[in-house]
Chain A
Amino acid sequence: MPLQVSVFAENKPGKIKRITGVLAEKGINIRAVTISESGDYGIVKLLLDQPEAGCEALQKAGIAATLKEIIAVLMKDTPGGLHEVAAALSESGINVEDAYGFIVKSSESAVFVFQVGNPRMAEKMLAGRGFSMLGDKELYLL
């Protein structure tokens, strides 16, 4: 199952730079990034080509970082593409905790990346309904 790095950051200028600096130095590539903030602080979520190495490097630099399992489901890059995934999740009563999506130019498809309480169950459900998920290697090297 793919992993994503969550990083705690104060909501102040220069805080993202500190994180990206560590990753750049280690030659770790960022595939996607989202930030959710709550007042004074927020969480930076990073999809990295080497999540374990990236997380370790950040921790070594004294940054609060942790790995989280995610689901990356492939969908059609057409109107209604995300709707199909959302409908499947909704019917199964699965709550999406945190998500983002992006398109993959080469394949005319798109990827919906999200966190859920029970990733294994969600993965099984989606696979059962014919969705294909990206494994860690596939996702990191998109």
Chain B
Amino acid sequence: MVTAEQVWDALAEIPDPEIPVISLVDLGVIRDVAIENGCVRVEFTPTFLGCPALDVMRDAMTERVRELGAEADVRVISDDSWSTDRITPAGREKLRASGFAPPAPRAAGTATTLVQLQSAVFRCPYCGSSETKLENIFGPTPCRSLRYCTACRQPFEQFKTI
């Protein structure tokens, strides 16, 4: 019989479909794994609601659990329990190492403001300078903004804080 620990290990091997350097466990989207009557129940919290990767993630989890010889019941939990603060420290470091600036921590209870985005507190993932500026609040996927580092003259993608 499969154990919850084996399931967690297996899910930790599934890459994010759009940012494959980090896994679904690094991303913090798996809220709970429980084994009930031989069925593996996975509680999955979407990141951004319009993200097309969500269906791919769900299918990949079902498939991975099946490879362990169990049936999966992947439940999508559309409440407010995921935020970018759920990305693990290991996940943040993997993002940075591959050129995505990890999200800034969310200020308690408040949404990010334009003034914060326009301030120079965001570090370039390439050279570490905080001499960076906002180019576009939006980017190539719902989770990213675009910034430019004036120190090393490198544009980069910044994970949005939500």
Partners in one complex: no
